[in-house]
Amino acid sequence: MYRLIADAAMVVHFLFLAYLTLGGFLALRWPRAIWAHLAVAGWGVMSIVTGVECPLTLVEDWGRRQAGLAGLTPSGFIDHYIEGVIYPEEHTNLVRLGVASLVVGSWFGYLWRRRHRDFSRA
């Protein structure tokens, strides 16, 4: 059961990161989604700036340890599954810049579409 909890937390965490990266583009289709994406992006920025640990990381680490498995690395989810696995650790800032560019680009797209839609109604 603990392994299932840990695995579920890991899957939700990956989905969260996917939504953080690309979720703003959903607002192009469903404008109200922008509010959820703003909250997720805010959490992402806050966790990077302050170093606050994500609750999903805590749940996964707890589940893994309770199941008798090794816990996550001391630095957490990103270091365990992504840095050094998907991209080299020395490219972290470049990856963060890429994610931030996607997020901000999606927001500009949302604002452009919203403004265009508002003008087309007039």
Helix (H, G, I), strand (E, B) or coil at 115: helix
Which pairs count as long-range contacts for 67-75, CB under 8 Å and 24+ apart, including other chains?
67/2, 67/3, 67/6, 69/3, 69/6
Contact 102, 108 (CB under 8 A): no
The pTM assigned to this predicted structure is 0.84
What is the rounded end-to-end Cα distance, in angstroms, of the chain? 57
pLDDT mean across residues, the chain: 91
In this prediction, residues 66-75 reach a mean pLDDT of 86
Domain containing 37 equals 2-121
Q: What percent of the chain is predicted at pLDDT more than 70? A: 96
pLDDT for 93-115, tens place per residue? 999 999 999 999 999 999 999 88
The number of distinct structural domains making up the chain is 1
Q: Given a cut of 90, is residue 76 above it in pLDDT?
A: no
The token pair at 15 is 């989905």
The DSSP output letter for 1 is: -
pLDDT of residue 25: 95
If one compares 37 and 89, the residue with the highest pLDDT of the two is 37
Residue at 16: amino acid letter? F
